[in-house]
Amino acid sequence: MSAILPPSERLWWKHPLDRQELVWIGIAFVWCMVMFFMMVLWHIYGKQNLATETYKTNPEKYSAQAQAAVDKWTVRNETAMNIPVVAPPEGADVYMIARLWNWWPILELQKGKTYKLHLSAMDYNHGFSMQPTNINIQVVPGYEHVIKVTPNETGTFSVVCNEYCGIGHHEMVGRIYVK
Amino acid sequence: MTVATTYRTCPRSGLQFESQAEKLMIANAVTAVVALLVGGLLAIGVVLTRWPAVHWLEADTFYMVLTAHGIDMLIFWMIFFEVAVLYFAASTLLRCRIATPKIAWAAYALMLVGAVMNNVAVFRGDSSVMMTSYVPMMAHWSFYLGLILFAVGALIACFVFFGTLVVAKREKTYEGSVPLVTFGAITAAIIAVFTISSGAIILIPTFLMSIGVVHEVNPLVYRTIWWAFGHSSQQINVAAHISIWYAVAAIAFGAKPMSERVSRGAFLLYILFLQLASAHHLLADPGISTEWKVVNTSYFMYFAVLASMIHALSIPGAMEVAQRAKGYNKGLFEWLRKAPWSNPTFSGVFIALVGFGFLGGISGVMMGTEQLNLLIHNTIYVPGHFHATVVVGTTLTFMALTYFLIPVLFRREMIAPGWARLQPYLFGFSMYFFCLVMMGAGTLGVSRRHWDMAFNGNALAYEWPGAAYLMMGLVGIAGVAAIAGGAIYIFVTVGSVFFGKKLDTGVVSPKFTPVPRAAPTLAAQTYGSAGFVAPGTFVLASVFLVAFVLYYFVNWKYLGQLWGLS
């Protein structure tokens, strides 16, 4: 019962390692290094890395920027709430507002083109969860996160809120079209 | 210094309990089980609402119940039980009186008041902010004050534990180094001090904000520091339940660690690196640099994963060596077939160990990878993962330990031993399945903490694939089975403590008997193969590694198909 008793040898730290444990530690160490450098390598060779470009902002400033983009590039309105559908040119700064309890506006992007997507929350934390591709990004109030996105498929995508944001949380869903 | 107290030697286990420590352990463990009972009742509401075909509770009730379920289970059940484990590892294993018993009782009282205050705040209905309580969403001030009081009480309990170690050293109740299990408990307590302090650092300003003294707590700073509390408290659980695994290997098999040096080294790696993992929750956040994310999320190059992989070999390895020494030496797995599978203390620990590694460990490392987290962040995969770690791993381990403690600490014969034998299998395997289907639903993108996956009546409603509905239905079924397993645990333990046959107390003496040292190792070794003392465990560990590698790269392949992000 020695795990619950003081070790038998006073100098237990000088006890030679068992061969089996030594082999396993070696294998485990190699695997740990593979996993570590995999993250680094993906930053060099991979195409899906979350941008870190972030600015401090506030609701007034951010909604003004979003409104300007909506005024410039709205192509139509959808649903009973007349949500604008914004179709920006390639390379443009596009804005999405997360607030209680909707995503605004709807975006219409083109496959294979790159856009700078800005995300910020007006009130609480929200979660940008784009389905069915399954891309998930935290949206924090007071911070404007700028992510370069390049859609690689066409279709209709939904933006579900997956950060709990109060009683209407489950009603918060937005949309992105890719042509 | 002499202190008037008595020491009881348990006739069934040979363990020696000091009377004050014994009462404290009983109080903390019983309170923990009450928290588990409350959390378990709340689990019924959560499971039956997320099961799409049932969709039982209203939205506001659901979010309230989910908030209470998270806090009662993850904080109150775990930490009350861990305080009992700390006192056991210091006072009982070192046969030492507990330091400052009055302060230990004050700590218990603070924790109890805090836990009750927090629960009252949640059930009032105006504090449905989830366990994470991200600012600027605010709860009632008593929500935060309850947590702060609880945290202060738990912090004091940690220092009572450290004080007891000092007393044991000074009064020479043992010689040489502390036992490995106590060493693991020290690891847990060091992590706990860091964890609980982080909780206090961020909850105190949030409390001041809730009463209007502080104007603003920055949401990103809150997330960063809160997770040093929220995630690290799960690291207390890991260190605590791994210590218990070593203890149960020793108790059930007489197993000794394969190497004290390796196992203690692995615990040391936990102290140094395990805390960094709170970064797992910030990988999808704005404003945090890539370098910070990569270094922290990987526990500085995965050194804590290395430590866990060492324990994963050492603990079953120690069991195998002990079994082979007893003559269960045929083939690779006779030692495992002949293990005491009808003893719930052993079966619970073994099911916990395998499930923690395969389900909790692999999924945790995968989703803690910086880029792969994009696939997982805030989906129901996350609770799928942590139910594998804190329910299959920690809760099942604590349950298994309770079966050992009923005759030893509570001095009662277990009622319904047949139910107790069944319980780890029912609870463990239904939780395995629960976690698997939850992670399956998460892989399809289903959100966590979400009342209505159908988005009923919403103009922009998203229709989840049929497979996602199927998985969530299975989550419901598996959850109900697991709750039944939890109910059996409560029935057996509470029933035994109140109605079990009283067992004799054993010899009570005013003085402790010093702890003997472990018997010296036998040099000769007549079992094992290819120079390996535990070849069966090595094969099992290799299966684990292959599963790990495959699953890891499958997810990279999945990530590679997403939209370009930079």
Identify all chain B residues contacting A51, using CB atoms and an 8 Å cutoff. 565-566
Identify all chain A residues contacting B464, using CB atoms and an 8 Å cutoff. 131
Task: Inspect the interface and report whether the beta carbons of A47 and B519 lie closer than 8 Å.
Answer: no
Question: Which residues of chain B fall short of a pLDDT of 50?
Answer: 523-525
Task: Inspect the interface and report whether the beta carbons of A79 and B259 lie closer than 8 Å.
Answer: no
Instruction: State the pLDDT at residue B533.
Output: 87
Which residue out of B93, B178, B261 would a mutagenesis test of the A interface target, given it has the greatest number of A Cβ atoms within 10 Å?
Answer: B261
Tell whether A164 lies on the interface with B, counting CB pairs under 8 A. Answer: yes
**CA gap A5, B401 in Å, rounded:** 18
Average pLDDT of chain A is 95
CA atoms within 13 A on the CB side of A5: 20
Instruction: State the pLDDT at residue A1.
Output: 46
Query: Could you count the other beta carbons within 10 Å of the beta carbon of residue A156?
Result: 12
Instruction: State the pLDDT at residue B530.
Output: 57
The torsion angles phi and psi of B446, rounded to 5 degrees, stand at: -55, 135
Tell whether A82 lies on the interface with B, counting CB pairs under 8 A. Answer: no
Instruction: State the pLDDT at residue B519.
Output: 73
Q: Which two tokens stand for residue A100?
A: 């209680």
Q: Cα torsion for A61, A67, A71, A77, to the nearest 10°?
A: 170
- Do residues A78 and A104 make contact, with C-beta atoms less than 8 angstroms apart? no
**CA gap B239, B383 in Å, rounded:** 20
**CA gap B232, A99 in Å, rounded:** 30
Peptide bond into B136 cis (omega under 30): yes
- Do residues B533 and B527 make contact, with C-beta atoms less than 8 angstroms apart? yes
Identify all chain B residues contacting A54, using CB atoms and an 8 Å cutoff. 286-287
Q: Which two tokens stand for residue B178?
A: 């502390």
**CA gap B147, B113 in Å, rounded:** 10
Which residue out of B285, B363, B538 would a mutagenesis test of the A interface target, given it has the greatest number of A Cβ atoms within 10 Å?
Answer: B285
Instruction: State the pLDDT at residue A154.
Output: 97
pTM for the model stands at 0.96
Instruction: State the pLDDT at residue B3.
Output: 67
Task: Inspect the interface and report whether the beta carbons of B533 and A32 lie closer than 8 Å.
Answer: no
Tell whether A37 lies on the interface with B, counting CB pairs under 8 A. Answer: no
Bridge partners for A55 per DSSP: A144
Query: Could you count the other beta carbons within 10 Å of the beta carbon of residue B406?
Result: 22
Average pLDDT of chain B is 95
Q: Which two tokens stand for residue B253?
A: 């098999």
Exposure b/e, B2-15, CB count within 10 A at least 16 = b = eeeeebbbbeebeb
Identify all chain A residues contacting B377, using CB atoms and an 8 Å cutoff. 127, 136-138, 162
Q: Which residues contact B36 (CB under 8 A, 6 or more apart)?
A: B72, B73, B77, B395, B486, B490
Instruction: State the pLDDT at residue B382.
Output: 97
Average pLDDT on A151-170 reads 96
Tell which B residues from 285 to 324 touch A, by Cβ distance under 8 Å: 285-290, 294, 298, 301-303, 305-306, 309-310, 313-314, 317-318
Bridge partners for A108 per DSSP: A177
Give me the helices (H) in B211-343, please: 219-230, 232-253, 260-273, 290-297, 299-325, 334-337
- Do residues A120 and A57 make contact, with C-beta atoms less than 8 angstroms apart? yes
Task: Inspect the interface and report whether the beta carbons of B309 and A149 lie closer than 8 Å.
Answer: no
